Structure 1
Amino acid sequence: MHHAFRFAAAAIAAGMLSSAHAGSDQFQRIEFFGSWAQIDADDTTTEEFDGIGGGLRVVGGQRVGFFGDFSGEYVPTERDDGGADLDFENYRAGAGWGFPAGPVGFFQLKAEYASLRTERQAPGGKVKESQDGYGVHLQFEQDLPYSLGVHASLGYLDLDDADGIEYVIGVHWVPDVFGFFAQYRWDDLDIADSDAELRIDTVRAGFRVPF
């Protein structure tokens, strides 16, 4: 978990240094969330893990212009049949550019560093694995009446030994200085040099605090 605290500190510092925004602009925010994740590794045998954890995300910058996006997530999972446990960590650090998409919506182009890490207990001790690389994403957010909004993202991850598509879709309600959000994230990755696939389904829900 010490990795998550490091990411949180860096993210908050980056957000504080970002330029000021208009009072009605709720783009800059801190998000505290709980998450449910299911990890499905499909090769010669299928291993499926699921569990509940949480994380922190900070977005700072301009709604139309440059922005930074930082997040850290930790989810302890266990295999459905009662087998070995698997700790899953998901860290992202990115930057991009936003531009208008009509009067109440906007697109974003974002590039990021991505690190997906797992740790499991094996007969010989703990086994740690890390898949590091980059992601590129096209994101969209649309404001709706009554302080509601929707957001979606289509991206591509290229990691050490895996690559594939990442989808995100969600809703948010931020009436003033405090609000809520929920989203579904789906990573569909192909493992290099094999026919194996890795699918990670994540549901996040939590609090959003604009600043």
Structure 2
Amino acid sequence: MKRCATAALALVLPSFAHAYTLTVGAGPMDDQPSRFAEIDIGGSRFTEQQGTSTAKAAGETSTFGLKDMDSDTRLRTEDTLSQLGARKEGDHIIVSLPGDVLFDFDKSDIRADARPVLSKLASVLEAMPKVSVAIIGHTDSKGADDYNQRLSQDRAESVEVWLTDLGVASSFTTEGKGESSPVAPNALAAGSDNPEGRQKNRRVEFIIGGNP
């Protein structure tokens, strides 16, 4: 499904870095609501990284290959991308956010406490208004294949609507891949369940620069 947003964004965010952590209760991971809170950095499953951009002065090569922006905007954007754990792959910048941070279990509505991290992503896209962005939803392997595909598509579309309503002017495409592209094993070698692996697989990826 393809949709295009053409509104303008006027978003001002604090310049200091926070630490956001996903915490999970002691019960089964699928049944525990995640909490996305502003706390000290610790050994959590999702921690916003401190800015680590290596391009510190005007004229230096951009860590993420950013172009067509002044040096202050570039450094600020690279710092935010570093906080979000972004990585560069070829001509694309990829940001992967945990599904348990963005959504409640089995839901596609954006969690209220996920808005700060999405606002940071919006500030990155605001600095690159002409870029295309592919939003791709992923699930773990629990449940029927067709249900997981629909859920992942619904989640990708939900994020697109949220960013568009905020005024992000990027050209978006959305796709749901269900359980077809895991980044970790859903089960251990002996065949038993792997909750940590399944949690990693529940995610939404943002491919800045469009589909590879």
Smaller-chain TM-score bracket: 0.3 to 0.5
Higher helix share: 2
- TM-score, normalized by length of structure 1? 0.33
Relative to total residues, which structure has the larger strand share, 1 or 2?
Answer: 1
TM-score with structure 2 setting the length? 0.33
